Each structure stands twice: as C-alpha cells, then as structure tokens.
C-alpha cells in the first residue's frame, strides 16, 4: 500500500500520460491541473464515484476526470493503492459534454473508446440519465435563470440513489473569491471571449437553490490547498 502523497503523484502522471498523443498543450495542461486541483483526490478519498456508475460530466473540458478514474482503477488492480482511501470504481460509464470543440477533440485523442464525448452547449444538450452528474466550475458562466434551468434538468436526469457533484466559487469568500474571479476573467480573455460577466452566488444561495430543487446537500471546502474560494457540493436527491 502507498501513502496518499505518493499515490497522488503516480495517478497524476499516469492520467496525464494519455494526453501526450493529443499534443504538448494537452499534456502540460493535464499535468498541471491534476497536480494542482484538490478535487480529483477528494473524489477518490471520499469514494464519491461508485462502481458501475453512469457518470455524466457537464463542461468536461478535455476529459480529465475520465483519465483520472482510469488511472485509479489501473493502480488498484496492480495493488498500488492507499490504505486510507476506499477502492476506486473498477467499472463505470463516462459521458462528457463540452462546449469547446477543440477540447473535445483533445479528449477523444487521449481517451479513445473509454469515454463518450460530444461538443454541445449545456443549456440545450440532452442529458439522458446518470448516477453521478459532475459540474466543475461551469455554471457561473451562465446567467442565473440558465443556471436554474440546467440544475432542474440535472435533477430530472440523476437517478434516485445518485448524486450531483457541483463545484462552485463562494461569492461570499472575500479575498479568495476575488482572486478566483480574476483568474476566471483572465482565462476568458485568453480564450478570446472578452470581458464577459460572471454570475456568481454566495454558498448560502447555492445551498438554498439546490434545496428548492429537491436535493440534500453537504459542502466540502476546496480552498485548503489553493488560494481560491471553491466549495464542492455533494447533492443527493431526496
């Protein structure tokens, strides 16, 4: 058995390696994101993706979650796992929807047949049904009515025993939130989308909205290892 730090490093390298075929940018981005974002470790350490789950990743980017889960499954089969973490899912069905076609192309090159990916706008794409719906750092790019409509459709798509994993920036997070907000705006500028408005809510407002939509929610701070005011909301239908 490995300690958590050693296993995390190995998983990052293993998952990122798949993106070499998609080009230097895809590989370097994967390595940086997987190493620096605590959400990937949190999903495994807390066992939030059960075996056999139908995973729907909305705003999936280049599909890092699928690569991460594959790396975890392979490491567990080789008995290179962490004694403090539950076993990772050995089987799951992954679907991803991403607005940027270039991201989808990189994901397809890296992931091959292990995932189903398509380019589409979450506001009008068909969700189908899923056991785990993942939305990471996406909804604040939509206005408030659009956010609510997407979440209503997620509530209809998720199975009765399933869950929604929603990461948000807490607009009540003070300086940490302002830092993350500026980073988001810089990313938009670099991607040629201009100085677009971001639609952010304080944590309390997110909790109230999800409760209104029929979810029971627990919140997990994601800011302990970063300077961002991020929170992971684990929402289960009631």
Q: Residues near 34 by Cβ (< 8 Å), separated by ≥ 6?
A: 11, 12, 15, 16, 40, 64, 68
Closest among 174, 192, 222, 171 to 43, alpha carbons compared: 222
Closest-CA residue to 49 (of 169, 160, 113, 130): 130
**For 197-235, what is each residue's pLDDT tens digit?**
889 999 999 999 999 999 999 999 987 666 678 999 999
pLDDT (0 to 100) of residue 223: 73
Inform me whether the pLDDT recorded for 191 exceeds 60.
Answer: no
Domain ranges of the chain: 1-39+56-120, 129-238
CA separation, residue 227 to residues 6, 27, 153, 174, 186 (Å): 23, 24, 32, 11, 16
Higher pLDDT among residues 182 and 148, named by residue? 148
Q: Is 1 exposed, middle or buried (0-12, 13-18, 19+ CB in 10 A)?
A: exposed
Q: How far apart are CA 106 and CA 120, in angstroms?
A: 15
**Is the model's pLDDT at 10 over the cut of 70?**
yes
Q: Is the pLDDT of residue 115 over 80?
A: yes
Q: Which helix (H) or strand (E) holds 14?
A: helix 4-17
Give this prediction's pTM: 0.93
Q: How confident is the model at residue 75 (pLDDT cuts 50, 70, 90)?
A: very high
Tens of pLDDT, residue by residue over 16-42, are 999 999 999 999 999 999 999 999 999
- 148 against 225, higher pLDDT: 148
Q: What is the pLDDT of residue 227?
A: 67
Q: What is the mean pLDDT of residues 144-159?
A: 98
CB contact at 8 A, 67 and 88: no
In the predicted model, is pLDDT for residue 5 greater than 80?
yes
What's residue 229's pLDDT? 84
Q: Which CATH number is 129-238's, of 3.40.50.150, 3.30.465.10, 3.30.450.40, 3.30.1330.60?
A: 3.40.50.150
- According to DSSP, the residues that pair with 231 across neighbouring strands are 168, 221
Higher pLDDT, 170 or 132: 132
Three-state SS at 25: helix
> Tell me, what's the pLDDT at 182?
63
Q: With 70 as the cut, is the pLDDT of residue 147 above it?
A: yes
DSSP string, 169-186: E-TTSTHHHHHHHHHHHH
Query: What integer best gives the mean pLDDT of the chain?
Result: 91
Q: For position 133, what pLDDT does the model report?
A: 98
Write phi, then psi, for 54 (nearest 5 degrees). Answer: -90, 110
Higher confidence at residue 178 or residue 44?
A: 44
DSSP letter assigned to residue 89: P
Please give the pLDDT value at position 193. Answer: 58
Per-residue pLDDT reduced to its tens digit, 177-189 = 666 666 666 666 5
What pLDDT score was predicted for residue 2? 87
Cα–Cα distance, 43 to 136 (Å, whole number): 12
pLDDT mean over 73-101:
94
pLDDT per residue as tens digits for the range 129-142: 999 999 999 999 99
- Is the pLDDT at 164 greater than 80? The verdict is yes
């Amino acid at each position: 058995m490995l300690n958590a730090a050693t296993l995390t490093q190995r998983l990052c390298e293993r998952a990122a390696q798949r993106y070499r075929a998609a080009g230097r940018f895809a590989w370097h981005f994967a390595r940086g994101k997987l190493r620096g974002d605590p959400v990937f470790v949190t999903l495994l350490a807390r066992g939030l993706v059960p075996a056999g789950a139908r995973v729907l990743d909305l705003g999936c980017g280049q599909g890092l979650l699928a690569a991460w889960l594959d790396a975890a499954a392979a490491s567990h089969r080789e008995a290179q796992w962490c004694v403090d973490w539950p076993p990772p899912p050995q089987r799951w069905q992954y679907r991803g929807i991403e607005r940027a076609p270039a991201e989808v192309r990189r994901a397809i090159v890296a992931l091959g047949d292990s995932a189903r990916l398509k380019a589409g706008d979450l506001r009008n794409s068909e969700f189908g049904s899923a056991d785990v719906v993942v939305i990471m750092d996406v909804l604040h790019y939509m206005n408030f009515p659009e956010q609510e409509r997407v979440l209503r459709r997620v509530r209809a798509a998720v199975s009765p025993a399933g869950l929604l994993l929603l990461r948000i920036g807490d607009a009540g997070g003070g300086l940490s939130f302002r830092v993350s907000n500026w980073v988001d705006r810089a990313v938009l500028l670099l991607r040629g989308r201009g100085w677009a408005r971001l639609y952010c809510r304080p944590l309390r407002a997110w909790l109230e909205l999800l409760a209104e939509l029929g979810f029971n929610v627990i919140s997990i701070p994601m800011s302990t290892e970063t300077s961002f005011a991020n929170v992971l909301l684990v929402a289960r239908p009631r």
